[in-house]
Structure 1
């Protein structure tokens, strides 16, 4: 499997869940991968398992200076960046009546501002590589309504994707967004709304949650040259939910 042979990729939130799935598959497909997370113990363990083509960097995606460090470490280890997957994100099941301004800003900073910071930080490196692919993980709630804060941030990622794609297309850099539905990840299985989500999954047209690997297949497509003429677009993986 060589769809990403000799490509250099950065994946945020890569220590577990969907991010881990992306990291593992990218390495299998021939990429050299730097993945970041705040969970240092889990990240270091995964990097050790994956070998020389994977490097873990502890990183808070809301820290602008930290982004520069990630780019520098990536270039030092593997060279200019070809692929960025802005995967890190959080959710919070609070109503607008109960959500504080601090809660709201935390969601926006992690889910939205970090994507802006990542795109801005990686562009000079992608210019050195003479092109690249940026994949922003949004949500089906970037297409239809959902939780306050989460929905807002994911709609913003969709808009930022389109705006950035228009500005960097002439550089050979593509920017697309992926919109997963209900995915069986730790965010779901360990969250405070797990029972509600399991019940909701019964009403998905395909009658199940997706597996992380199913999202990874789409991310891989967008990271690879197979999607060479796709930019500024949203790719939905929701089992038919937004078709209802």
Structure 2
């Protein structure tokens, strides 16, 4: 796949796996739109990545918010060629206890 010159939307792009993915794509010549619920982390990561990155605060559980992020990607970079989902949506619960694994 040709990555240089392409635009990718990365959910969860403000930190962790999403940020690492964004860094890799930018290093290979892509533009990235970081979509993350955490505005501070997303803005910081976009600044770190430079001119080929933008951030939009996005709650991926909201279809309207995701549609808005796609629109921003197209408006800013002219097209959207791919998406990488790194956003984690989970309820923090114990998975193991004294008697073994809890039902998930």
Common fold by TM > 0.5: yes
Q: CA deviation at 1:7?
A: 0.7
Alignment of 1:17 with 2:48, yes or no, is: no
Alignment of 1:70 with 2:69, yes or no, is: yes
Structure number with greater CO (CA < 8 Å, separation at least 6) is: 2
Asked whether the equivalents of residues 93 and 147 of structure 1 are also in contact (C-alpha less than 8 Å), the reply is no
What is aligned with 1:54? 53
Q: CA deviation at 1:33?
A: 0.3
What is aligned with 2:94? 94
Gaps of 5+ in 2: 96-101
What is aligned with 1:221? none
Question: Structure 1: how far apart are the matches of 2:88 and 2:103?
Answer: 14
TM-score, length basis structure 1:
0.37
The equivalences for 1:1-244 within 5 A come to: 4-91=3-90, 92-94=92-94, 148=104
Gaps of 5+ in 1: 96-145, 149-244
Greater strand proportion = 2
Question: Structure 2: how far apart are the matches of 1:59 and 1:90?
Answer: 13
Please list every run of at least 4 consecutive aligned residues from structure 1 whose deviation after the TM superposition is greater than 4 angstroms.
none
**Pairwise CA RMSD:** 1.7
Bigger Rg, which one: 1
